[in-house]
Amino acid sequence: MTVLSTQGSTAVPRRVFLQRGATLAAAGLGSGLLGACAHGPGHHGGRWALKNAGDFVPNLVNASAAIFKERSAVLVELTPEAQKALIAGTGVGNGPSFIMPPVQMANGVIEVDLAARINGKGAPDVRGFVGIAFHIDDKAETFEAVYLRMTNGSKNNPPPPAPRNVFAVQYISYPDRYWRKLRQEHPNVYEKAAPVAIESWHKLRLDIAGSTVSAFVDGEKVITVNDLRFPNRKGRIGLWVDDGTAGYFSDLRVKTAD
């Protein structure tokens, strides 16, 4: 059995632990929105203020309205069952833990304001894992993602020690290219430094085109990946969190190029 950890030292068997399974396909994209939608969703995307939990489709997470740093947001955390499974070693890190808006895209731009807080429910070495998933299949069994490890960012005071300081933004694809495998086989390719900090708001943007994704934090390009696992796949997108993290999301913007 392949083993991975929650991005520190705790080993977790790689076992799929889906919350909804095939019911996601039956549910389609859902009929509602998460908060106020300014001008969508439509054929070319949409915009959501993210002021309440609404009807976004969750997988392995709970979502609720919240205020963080005086800003309205949606709080996303692993369900108690998913979090307990990670701690017990029966769950899966880097897994399909996200809420999904009623939009699909293969290529285009996804942009969201996000922040992370360590919620005390995970492993001792959690980093504040929050990001964007894309190319999610109908059963939420495969996807790609770019996420931030907020405590590894250069804007923390004091800044993190080496080598953590260059592990602040990460690309993965699920289930076959998780963070440890990529770090071991391709060091410094799929993770880079990023100007972020824990418990601070940042703007994460993904530009997706064919086999390439470029990620920007507050307008600064932080990583480009040129070998996407599922290029040009039209699928859901997701607001993603992982072990021991309270993720806050606000002002989601999606513009498709399909």
pLDDT per residue over 70-127, tens digit each? 999 999 999 999 999 999 999 888 999 999 999 999 999 999 999 999 999 999 999 9
Whether the per-residue pLDDT at 23 is higher than 70: the answer is: no
Out of 16-20, 45-49, 86-90, 212-216, pick the least confident: 16-20
Structure token pair of residue 68 = 């963080």
Distance set, CA 236 to CA 98, 173, 209 (Å): 11, 14, 15
Positive or negative CA dihedral for 225, 226, 228, 232? positive
Structure token pair of residue 71 = 């800003």
Q: What is the pLDDT of residue 258?
A: 78
Q: What is the pLDDT of residue 53?
A: 67
- Give every CB contact of residue 118 below 8 A, 6+ residues apart in sequence: 126, 128, 151, 198, 244, 245, 246
By CB atoms closer than 10 A (0-12, 13-18, 19+), residue 121 is middle
Whole-prediction pTM value? 0.87
* CATH T-level fold of 34-256: Jelly Rolls (2.60.120)
Q: Rounded to the nearest 5°, which phi and psi values hold at 239?
A: -95, 115
